[in-house]
Structure 1
Amino acid sequence: MSKSKRFFSGLLTIVALVAALVVWSMLPWFGVLAIAVAVAAWLAFTRSGAIALAATRIGIAGLPQRWGASSVIVIGIAGVVGVLVAMLAMGEGFKATLSNTGGTDTAIILRGGSQAETNSVITRDQVPLISGLPGIARGADGQPVSSPELSQVVNLQSKADGTDTNVQFRGVGPAAWALRPKLKIVEGRKFGPGLREMVVGRGAQKQFANLDVGKQVKLANQVWTVVGAFESGDSNESELWADVDVLGPAYQRQAFQSVTVKLDGKNGFKQLSAGLAADPRLKLDAMTTHDYYAKQSEGLTKFLSVLGIVIGSIMAVGAIFGALNSMYAAVAGRSREIATMRALGFRGVPVVTAVMLETMLLALVGGIIGALIAWVVFNGHTVSTLGNNFSQVVFQFRVSPQLLWTGLKWALGIGLVGGLFPALRAARLPVTEALRAG
């Protein structure tokens, strides 16, 4: 074969391999299951499959004698899967925390065009106008259920490394508790109206220093007493809460930044949006609180997913080369064994299949180990990162079954690439040459 034909043949093989890996990575679980069932049926019910299975058993039986080379494949793939799943679990946990915040029965109102509370301003004279809009539910006292709120970023010391960290200090109105029914005081009590008292989220307590109930914290040159702690299972646990009428003057803030309201039934949001659009004095936008917080997670989640895939891909290249070297060495060391099998009637397809199955078995073991390590070490691990409000959001890594499945697919894909070329070499090795080399 001429050099040009070899070049184009190799190029075609690489293109086909890349296409196969792309298709493989996109396959749902039932697609992978179908392929596995088809391969198992071929191994069990065809003559060439039975020969391939026998050759595979011979190769697997020799793995203990090649434990060093085999461990390179297992450890390399375990590292790839562990890092990939951990990175994706970070993004999944951040997304889940913000997606669980708020609901479709409440809405947040911001200045028109604002993407977050930090760049929103709602003047005090606009608050009564908002309360009078249609679509806002009324409480037992007949008053609209709305909470004008202020979000102030403050510096607290991180427990992890002692550095100053941005934390969201939220001033809320009396209706804030009814608007967030998942939020429960689990220690101490609520802050008193008109007092420099605060309640803190459990997530904030875990990450930041001096937030135990009974402690005093100096903020804005004033001493605030922590009188309670709350849990909510969402991003609110990253915050400190106080009376908005006390927090505003402490930071010389004359306006609010958002107004959270309870929606009146299924059509409440449409009525509220129409009311805002119809009043020229209110150049404000409304979103359901669920959509608002879910949108805040999009950027970082995508970044972490892309970063995880990039880092995982770089590590996967290393793992593939490790698998290639190990399997080439294994094929070279078993050249006489392979030649003997071929002399006995083992054709090219069974030999290729045997080497591929052996490599993918090692890859599967590495993938399972990596996935288990990621689940044990990272699942539920609490961290914090900077959110859209330029303050820390406390969340937990979330190693979901879907991420574990993604890691295993990557492992099998690496095994597929790492075993293919050594398998082809084993099938093409001339019998006489292999016997002399052995």
Structure 2
Amino acid sequence: MKKQWLGNLISIVALVVGLGVWIVLPWFAVLGIAVALMLWLFLTRSGRLSLEAAKIGIASLPQRWGASSVIVVGIAGVVGVLVAMLAMGEGFSATLKQTGGEDTAIVLRGGSQAETNSVISRDQVPLISTLAGVAKGKDGRALLSPELSQIVNLPTASTGEDANAQFRGVSEAAWAIRPQVKLTEGRKFNVGVREIVVGQGAKGQYRGLDVGKTLKLGNQEWTVVGVFASGDAHDSELWTDIDTLSSAYDRRAYQSVTVRTEGKAGFDQFKQAMENDPRLKLDVLTTRDYYTKQSTGLNTLIKVLGTVIGTIMAIGAVFGALNTMYAAVAGRAREIATMRAIGFRGLPVVMAVMLETMLLALLGGLLGGLIAWVVFNGYSVATLGSNFSQVVFQFKVTPELLWSGLKWALGIGLVGGLFPALRAARLPITQALRAI
């Protein structure tokens, strides 16, 4: 009994390890396995016998479709939930990664991880503007924008409950530094006036942000004069003049400075000049690196949660597959015994049951991936970003995620079909034939 228990434990551990390896296999390795399997099925005697035996089982699926659908629906649920969870992280990460570029830099206080805990004094801005590598505008002035981020509460469009929004104060140079930001409605804000332009994502997320509307922020009235689109994280923000925002909220320092550099080489020059100036104890990152780092924590959390939830659901799907396939093997005991009696060895019988289970798993994986793509791809949501404000983004169901979901489906089918297949191969022929 101890040996049997130990053997079962080793088999389970081997299956778990094998399933983990299967999940992380690259596409070309999976393709190689599939090609090798196809060659074995069509070029060897055992393979051809397995194929013929599998055809018999597959032909009987319509007669037991109710039981077989348990496998398909269970695996479809696992794949759908897993892909949807990972698509959320993929969408959030993609939104932040496409914010900024290699030729723009963000300056923060030394050691600061985000704008919220950064402070840059006003007298440091002129020093920054004189550093090497800073691009100049048509007027010959340095293209840099000292900025301030204020968190404000706005009612959400869906429920009316208050949520955090990022109210950013920028200088006139911000438009030239971020050429991807384009006005779609109205006009730019005027300097020294309480006027706001809002991102198209923020307009859809919050109430009262139509052009011409008036908001009360910081106990003062602000007028929405325009809507802009940027296709990145700035779509979730409200913009106004930096000095007006500083005055309204009594902010005497800036939080960051965004700089247009003279290409990638200019960024390297700018960073080196910053490090060489003892008056500036500041950190410099490309805006792409900065926003990419902001997405890392949440994306990792979503991946871990998605994997944990997917694993829990996968265990349930495996048990469903085990029950269904055990019942199928028991119902086809005489048929399997007859095949064994006329010359089918154990390996073709095992492969026949496995091929049948893998086919059902493939159908479940395709169904789950299709549902995830139809329902969630492009679905807009908002979540808290690193600045404790809502970032509007879209779920992104990529081919890589669909491929990963399909591998999970086939892995579940592999585990769920293996033990019933081994039982089918071990059925006593004489005992099964007596029941005929």
Determine the C-alpha separation between the residues in 1 that align with 2:16 and 2:209.
53
Determine the C-alpha separation between the residues in 2 that align with 1:369 and 1:183.
39
Which residue number in structure 1 is paired with residue 328 of structure 2?
330
Which residue number in structure 2 is paired with residue 263 of structure 1?
261
Which residue number in structure 1 is paired with residue 425 of structure 2?
427
2:362/2:406 contact within 8 Å kept: yes
SS in 2 for 1:124: coil
Return the offset for 1:8: 2.5
Which residue number in structure 2 is paired with residue 214 of structure 1?
212
Q: Per-residue displacement from partner, 1:357-396 (whole Å, max 9, x unpaired)?
A: 0001000001100000000000000001001101011100
Q: Per-residue displacement from partner, 1:64-97 (whole Å, max 9, x unpaired)?
A: 1111110100000000000000000000000000
332, 339, 342: which is aligned to 1:341? 339
Return the offset for 1:49: 0.9
Which residue number in structure 1 is paired with residue 226 of structure 2?
228
SS in 2 for 1:114: coil
Determine the C-alpha separation between the residues in 1 that align with 2:88 and 2:205.
16
Determine the C-alpha separation between the residues in 1 that align with 2:262 and 2:336.
75
**Which residue type is aligned with residue 354 of structure 2?**
M
Which residue number in structure 1 is paired with residue 284 of structure 2?
286
2:124/2:280 contact within 8 Å kept: yes
Determine the C-alpha separation between the residues in 1 that align with 2:148 and 2:80.
41
Return the offset for 1:9: 2.0
Which residue number in structure 2 is paired with residue 240 of structure 1?
238
Return the offset for 1:398: 0.2
SS in 2 for 1:107: strand
- Which structure 1 residue ranges, 5 or more long, are not aligned? none
400, 403, 417: which is aligned to 1:402? 400
Determine the C-alpha separation between the residues in 1 that align with 2:3 and 2:121.
74
Matching of residues 35-434 of structure 1 within 5 Å: 35-434=33-432
Determine the C-alpha separation between the residues in 2 that align with 1:345 and 1:230.
74
SS in 1 for 2:79: helix
Determine the C-alpha separation between the residues in 2 that align with 1:66 and 1:341.
20
SS in 1 for 2:337: helix
**Which residue type is aligned with residue 311 of structure 1?**
I
Determine the C-alpha separation between the residues in 1 that align with 2:272 and 2:52.
72
Return the offset for 1:33: 1.2
Q: Percent identity?
A: 69
Match status 1:9 vs 2:31: no
Return the offset for 1:437: 4.9
Determine the C-alpha separation between the residues in 2 that align with 1:407 and 1:435.
41
**Which residue type is aligned with residue 104 of structure 2?**
T
1:80/1:315 contact within 8 Å kept: yes
Determine the C-alpha separation between the residues in 1 that align with 2:406 and 2:143.
49
Q: Per-residue displacement from partner, 1:183-216 (whole Å, max 9, x unpaired)?
A: 1101111111111111111111111111111111
1:238/1:394 contact within 8 Å kept: yes
SS in 2 for 1:267: helix
1:82/1:373 contact within 8 Å kept: yes
1:112/1:284 contact within 8 Å kept: yes
TM-score of the superposed pair, with normalisation by structure 2 = 0.98
1:335/1:437 contact within 8 Å kept: no
Determine the C-alpha separation between the residues in 1 that align with 2:160 and 2:422.
56
Q: Which runs of 4+ in 1 moved over 3 A?
A: none
Between 72-81 and 8-17, report the one with greater CA deviation: 8-17
1:136/1:264 contact within 8 Å kept: yes
2:334/2:433 contact within 8 Å kept: yes
**Which residue type is aligned with residue 139 of structure 2?**
D
Q: Per-residue displacement from partner, 1:325-349 (whole Å, max 9, x unpaired)?
A: 0000010011111111111111100
The count of aligned residue pairs is: 436
Determine the C-alpha separation between the residues in 1 that align with 2:134 and 2:256.
15
TM-score of the superposed pair, with normalisation by structure 1 = 0.98
SS in 1 for 2:145: strand
Determine the C-alpha separation between the residues in 1 that align with 2:375 and 2:426.
44
- Which structure 2 residue ranges, 5 or more long, are not aligned? none
Determine the C-alpha separation between the residues in 1 that align with 2:409 and 2:11.
21
SS in 1 for 2:196: strand
Determine the C-alpha separation between the residues in 1 that align with 2:165 and 2:243.
19
**Which residue type is aligned with residue 148 of structure 2?**
L
Q: Per-residue displacement from partner, 1:118-152 (whole Å, max 9, x unpaired)?
A: 11111111111111111211112111110011100
